[in-house]
Structure 1
Amino acid sequence: MSATVPFSQFVLKVHSRCDLACDHCYVYEHADTSWSRKARAVSDEVLERTAGRIAEHARTHRLPAVHVVLHGGEPLLAGPDRLRRAAGLLRAALPAGCALDLRIHTNGVLLDRRFCELFAEQDIRVGVSLDGDRLANDRHRRFADGRSSHAKVLAALALLREPEFRHLYAGLLCTVDVANDPVAVYEALVAEQPPRIDFLLPHATWDHPPARPEGAGPTPYADWLLAVHRHWTERGRPVPVRIFDSVHRTLRGRSSLTESLGLDPADLVVVETDGTLEQADSLKTAYDGAPATGFDVFAHSLDEVARHPGMLERQSGLAGLAARCRACPVVRSCGGGLYAHRYRTGGGFDQPSVYCGDLLKLITTIRDRVSARAAAPAEQRQPLTDRHLDELAHGLGGADAVTALGQAQLELSRRLVTAAGAPGNSAAWQLLTTVDRAAPGALDAVLAHPYTRTWAGRHLARDGHGDPGGPAELAAAAAARGRIGFELVLPVRAGWLHLPTLGRLRLDGRTEAVLRGDADGLSCAGHTVRWDRPGDHLWQPVRRVALPGWTLALEDTDPRRDSHQWPAADRLSDAELLDWTGALGEAWELLGRDLPGYAAGIAAGLGTVTPLAPGPDGRDVSAAARQAYGAVGIARPTTAPVLALLLAHEFQHVKLGAVLDLYDLHDQADDRLYHAPWRPDPRPLEGLLQGTYAHLAVVAYWAGRVRAHDGLRGDDAAARLQLATWRAHTADAIGTLERSGSLTPLGLRFAAGMRAALAPALEVPVGAAAERAARQAAAADPAARRAAAGRR
């Protein structure tokens, strides 16, 4: 295990006391008593040293961003001046190129306009604890004298909903109490219009199990959450719910959004008010002193903390779980649950979560609900709602809309693979059937892999004579992901045995090999691959980049990644992987800042980036393949802003291609060629539509850059010229589409949506020089003028 998996998340305690007396609080009401020995408020010395340590860590590990939560106790008790001091020191200390995501989590009782103005000034987002309606909230969240806190919290939330502060509102955190009505709690939370809801299981251990009311059944917490999930789903998922989104993501082989699910390594450290460095606060529920490391910001670096045995244990993934967990079919989704919830005196953390049964039921029921929806006849459901279509027509598409696109693509891939494989009674198809019954999420993760559909499409195009080994590779990969034992003969291609989504094994001198798999790993031709060990010169795993809210694969092993119009790069070296990781982190920060309307869809639908070979003469090259949903190919550019722009641009192609698989936006019989302002050669109508849709993101990107400069700098002339050029091109192309006479009613709806999306950018002033230069550039292109009328 690497000694320094870097921290990117920091909880900074600014006050160690609280103005409420919540009886379910892990800080004051559980096993740990260290709060009573901490300084009440953080000192300037601790703030300065903490800012320095975080900055040192960011420089050492080339972090593109750090995420800091100001916490307590109740952090507002620290007062505005100390909070302003903390924000200023953190921001000033960070190295150039490292962004600060600063948040505060509060009970809301003291949150007033003065604090909101401070948070707007310092760009601090606000999360608030609320357990539901007054009845639910008052079960636990009261003042020490028994008074309700509910009215004060609602007043604070009303303030956060005001237009000037709405951008600060980060979401609501609700601790589950199965005595409360789940639907009433959910409706009360939704009524506060949060951008996100986070349901938390109450902290408990095997020594102190969670309350399980008599007659409630063996899994009351799963039952409670599943009632909310059904209600949430029936109403179209109007707000993201972190635990449900995490289950959906991990069932598809993607990262979790919470440390209580999934196998992503923990990357969080806590700084107490006295400067001591601790593990996650949730450990306070295990035993007195459980979070302690013995380190502090004055004497120890964060790399030293990262090497603490407790930190390493929380970063060990599958290898760190109990044997029963490792053998569980949903282990990659559950991840053993929250680390603190595994504790038992005498056994430490080496057992399943005290919520094991609840987590198993929650995950498998959500999985089965998704599978049942997927199994419904296509003619009985619409893949996209009107709201989804409106979002996508404007060039955007939030997580829900893009997830629906992905589900439709998964169903299409399943049908194509079935048609391409002609199942019969082969061992591969028998194994695929077994996995589909026992671990459907594992099979879905392989079927959703972008290059699975590439294989199926090519095989069908060659009348079944293209690549018959595909089903065996898919079956072996799915069984391996589902921890299902198997033995199967697989092809060896150019010296490599391939497992889609997992990696490749070097086997020289063979054309096929017998691969065996079990819960711990794989074995083939004398070589063993264990899931708890890194790759070597023979086994090359698919490597993933985990970013806040987005995990993607850097796919440099799959032989079918050559489906983009540019050559794929070879296997990335460790240095190249580090460069890619840093560049993607910076690009993701830029997308979240400059293109937030596009970022949520990218996180939901773009799971694979395929590195391409450098373009000719150092040109930036990128591509999206119609038969590879969820992937884009990019040759790594020299700057993060260019990478951000390429990611957004290419994912527009990915989204629209998925829409075109479902709906006709234009008359397929129209074979005319049309002028595309950005190209010298005329394009078919679908090509023009694709280019126009992709350039909406380009226009939004440059509009954001120009607005950010706001005429205050003289070096934004290039951005103004780019905006003037691309918005004129895009407006021209939308007009051509509308005048073609070949758009369907839905196609006209998309054209109207694109025009509406473009309108704000047309209002951004760029200056006469930029407008003139853009017109001159367009007029100087004779090929474009010749193509303007369109021709066959």
Structure 2
Amino acid sequence: MQPPIAPFRQVVLKVASRCDLACDHCYVYEHADTSWRERPMVMSDETAVQVADRIAEHAAAHRIQTTHVVFHGGEPLLAGIERLRRFSRTLRGAVEGVCDLDLRIHTNGVLLSRAYCDMFADEGVKVGISIDGDRLANDRHRLYANGHSSYEQVVRAITLLRDHYRHLYAGLLCTIDVRNDPIAVYEALVALHPPRVDFLLPHATWDHPPLRPGGQETAYADWLIAVHDRWRADGRPVPVRMFDSIILTASGGDSQTESLGLRPSDLVVIETDGSYEQADSLKTAYDGAPATGLDVFRHSLSEAALHPGFAARQGGLDSLAEECRRCPVVASCGGGLYAHRYRSGNGFDNPSVYCADLFRLISHLVEYERQSTPVPVHRLPTATLDALASGNASADDVAQLRAPQLSRARLAARRAATVVADQESWSILLNAERTDRAAVDDLLSHPYVHAWATRCATAGPARLTAADAGHLAAVAAVAAVRTGLAVKLTVPIVGNFLHLPGLGRMRTGGRDRAEVEAHDGSFAVRADGPWLSQDSPLWEPVRTLDATGPGLLLDDVDPYRDCYGTPVEDRLTGEAAAALGEVVGAALASLTADKRAAVRAGLRVLTPLPSGAAGAWSRTAYGAVALPLGADPATTARLLIEHFHRAQLGGLLDLLDLAAGDANLELLLSDAYGLLSVAELLGDEEIARLRTAISRITGGARSAVGRRFAAGLAEAAARLPLPAGSRQR
């Protein structure tokens, strides 16, 4: 029986097999493997066509939603503009209708020009550049063969991207040399305003260990810790993939780099002659280490995936050395980069040659994260807890839940950005936050932005859809609009609409992506035809329910409003929206002034459900309630109050351990709390059921705060009239 295949989602495509620099730390030309000498200097068109067909075949067979392809080398720009253009079009043509294609190029930058950038803009190719820091750090290794510096040419290339082709700027890659000043390197990189920085440990093995000046056992950890602590003190001005991966894996997420974490490798290298190889880093182990003996002309990618070399990197924890499996930081470390484990005699069955460094670095970051607490500690006053338990919370009591929910929303957005790995959009969000923190807070706490972020953070990269991943760009575009930044972003089209959360949607037609340009607080969208502004009849904005008072939104367009586990209505006509507003306004008016104020303090968004639905709320969309169309004001009032209170309890459960982790007790709490909020409308049977539920809650509460809350519920229930049957007895 054939073993299961772990499909390839990342392809490193070697379009050129020579380089115009002579970096002495290069793993391709300066380490053990010499196979490059026998390969074509550039990939042929015939090979590129076969590669494209193999990628499309593989994506179709394994239902891959997005394939990530990186043009690499050597120096890939040596392939030339027209060849790279042809390769880009060949790849996109082959996968059209099969999967999305994330196409990038990684270059040393010295040949990058406007002509290259114009072509990359036309073909949708993002550009990453290698630079090792300031001039002193960069010139320690990254020199021409004649010994001349490459620094000015590289900075010129980065400046060109940053200032004129920002939407192509994918980030910077820096190989660490512990002899360089870590802070000087960090400051030089941040000054170039990259959308992301990748720090790489220099390739080494147990046979050829890394440089350790003065015999320092954790020199690389110490260097990275200095950078990390400065980065955190600066407010994380740019995403750093190594740090973000450690933080994410420590909290149960997936790593964003093959050098850390336990996620199986999904990367294959295809050389200029079409041969399949394992990760390039293996070239540092021994001559021929990455070779598979397979190629695109004779073998499919699925056949390549069965090669023992790839299979050895699919086993997660079980594939690690025994010492690694016992290590407390293994979930974040994952044994380090596979190549760094090599020792002649027993191959890769070893911890990383950077084991001590990784242990110290990960431990430091985890402890730093614990002490700094990503979600600020929020303490609820006892009087507020008691008021919430009684069902008589004031507007001020309800407002106490807003700050912790904002903290949760911000953390979910950060984790989503790490999973999505769209560093350009995340950088725009950070810039917007520096411009107007309140505006970005308001955006991130929108119920359906929070629902999207939670979905991404929970799903992880393997289960992420292209629409989920692309939505970060939509969030960033709205942040730019709200803060007045000037940006241009590519945003996905879902169901013929481009969605801008909290603002509305633009009907765009059948393409899969559109451009959004934000400037001076306004925006324009372009898909196939001309630029469309928010004055276009194709723009469908989020509306305000005017009859309910100021600020209550009717959101019937957001794609993430489907978080209730029940179907939602699509955009209402103007007449239907006005009718819903009148009904909800009348429902609110029927409440006491205190209840009405409490609802308005915690409710931000209403979403319509089909007629006859029961109403709904969602734990991931705090501040929103879904209500059915066609209900009268009295029914609407009951559903509004009941589900609003269930949502408030959800917010309370996010803050306090009322149920001690007991999911059944949480459900009982939600049902009882919702019914208690409309107790005056309940019949005898419902009151009896409510009392029974509260009795079970009181008996099951284990935490001190849970017992206090249960006692408050019981006291409130005791004030209710007895059912008629009980009174007769």
Q: Shorter-chain TM-score category?
A: 0.5 to 0.7
2:54 match: 53
CA distance in 1 between counterparts of 2:170 and 2:90 reads 22
CA distance in 2 between counterparts of 1:238 and 1:55 reads 38
Code of the aligned partner of 2:207: D
1:205 match: 205
CA distance in 2 between counterparts of 1:326 and 1:285 reads 25
Larger Rg: 2
Contact 1:592-1:599 within 8 A present in 2 as well: no
Code of the aligned partner of 1:209: P
SS of 1:11's partner is strand
Code of the aligned partner of 1:588: D
Query: Is 1:728 the equivalent of 2:543?
Result: yes
The 1:297/1:551 distance shift into structure 2, 3 A limit, reads farther
2:577 match: 778
CA distance in 1 between counterparts of 2:411 and 2:548 reads 19
After superposition, the C-alpha distances for 1:44-71 in whole angstroms (9 at most, x for unaligned) are: 1100000000000011011111000000
Consecutive unaligned residues of structure 1, counting only runs of 5 or more, are 381-387, 405-546, 555-579, 601-638, 649-695, 739-750, 759-769
CA distance in 2 between counterparts of 1:396 and 1:368 reads 20
Contact 1:237-1:400 within 8 A present in 2 as well: no
SS of 1:76's partner is helix
The 1:700/1:133 distance shift into structure 2, 3 A limit, reads farther
The 1:233/1:127 distance shift into structure 2, 3 A limit, reads same
TM-score (norm 1): 0.56
CA distance in 1 between counterparts of 2:328 and 2:412 reads 30
The 1:379/1:786 distance shift into structure 2, 3 A limit, reads closer
Contact 1:11-1:70 within 8 A present in 2 as well: yes
After superposition, the C-alpha distances for 1:386-440 in whole angstroms (9 at most, x for unaligned) are: xx99x979x9889559899xxxxxxxxxxxxxxxxxxxxxxxxxxxxxxxxxxxx
2:280 match: 281
CA distance in 2 between counterparts of 1:160 and 1:401 reads 27
SS of 1:48's partner is helix
After superposition, the C-alpha distances for 1:635-670 in whole angstroms (9 at most, x for unaligned) are: xxxx9947999xx9xxxxxxxxxxxxxxxxxxxxxx
Code of the aligned partner of 1:697: P
CA distance in 1 between counterparts of 2:31 and 2:117 reads 32
1:587 match: 467
After superposition, the C-alpha distances for 1:209-238 in whole angstroms (9 at most, x for unaligned) are: 0000015x2100000000000100111111
CA distance in 1 between counterparts of 2:307 and 2:49 reads 23
Code of the aligned partner of 1:775: G
Contact 1:246-1:257 within 8 A present in 2 as well: yes
The 1:733/1:84 distance shift into structure 2, 3 A limit, reads farther
Query: Is 1:214 the equivalent of 2:214?
Result: yes
Code of the aligned partner of 1:111: L
Code of the aligned partner of 1:297: V
The 1:786/1:195 distance shift into structure 2, 3 A limit, reads closer
2:128 match: 127
Contact 1:588-1:644 within 8 A present in 2 as well: no
1:697 match: 501
1:312 match: 311
Percent identity, aligned pairs only, is: 53
Contact 1:46-1:274 within 8 A present in 2 as well: yes
Contact 1:306-1:312 within 8 A present in 2 as well: yes
The 1:378/1:392 distance shift into structure 2, 3 A limit, reads closer
How far residue 711 of structure 1 moved from its aligned partner, in angstroms, is 8.2
The 1:644/1:258 distance shift into structure 2, 3 A limit, reads farther
SS of 2:214's partner is coil
Contact 1:396-1:598 within 8 A present in 2 as well: no
CA distance in 2 between counterparts of 1:37 and 1:220 reads 37
2:562 match: none
Contact 1:261-1:333 within 8 A present in 2 as well: yes
The 1:292/1:787 distance shift into structure 2, 3 A limit, reads same
The 1:157/1:18 distance shift into structure 2, 3 A limit, reads same
The 1:191/1:139 distance shift into structure 2, 3 A limit, reads same
2:719 match: none
CA distance in 1 between counterparts of 2:502 and 2:143 reads 50
Query: Is 1:335 the equivalent of 2:334?
Result: yes
After superposition, the C-alpha distances for 1:253-293 in whole angstroms (9 at most, x for unaligned) are: 11001111000000000110000010000100000000000
How far residue 550 of structure 1 moved from its aligned partner, in angstroms, is 5.7
The 1:182/1:398 distance shift into structure 2, 3 A limit, reads farther
Query: Is 1:109 the equivalent of 2:110?
Result: yes
2:189 match: 189
1:413 match: none
After superposition, the C-alpha distances for 1:293-344 in whole angstroms (9 at most, x for unaligned) are: 0000000000000000010001111010000000001111100000000000
How far residue 369 of structure 1 moved from its aligned partner, in angstroms, is 1.5
Aligned CA-pair RMSD? 4.1
Contact 2:497-2:507 within 8 A present in 1 as well: no
Code of the aligned partner of 1:210: P
How far residue 161 of structure 1 moved from its aligned partner, in angstroms, is 1.2
How far residue 374 of structure 1 moved from its aligned partner, in angstroms, is 3.6
The 1:778/1:171 distance shift into structure 2, 3 A limit, reads same
CA distance in 2 between counterparts of 1:282 and 1:550 reads 30
SS of 2:367's partner is helix
Contact 1:125-1:170 within 8 A present in 2 as well: yes
Query: Is 1:787 the equivalent of 2:586?
Result: yes
SS of 2:268's partner is strand
TM-score (norm 2): 0.61
SS of 1:214's partner is helix
How far residue 364 of structure 1 moved from its aligned partner, in angstroms, is 0.6
Contact 1:204-1:210 within 8 A present in 2 as well: yes
CA distance in 2 between counterparts of 1:553 and 1:191 reads 34
The 1:268/1:11 distance shift into structure 2, 3 A limit, reads same
CA distance in 2 between counterparts of 1:89 and 1:138 reads 37
Pairing 1:408-557 to 2, within 5 Å after superposition: 552-553=458-459
The 1:310/1:778 distance shift into structure 2, 3 A limit, reads same
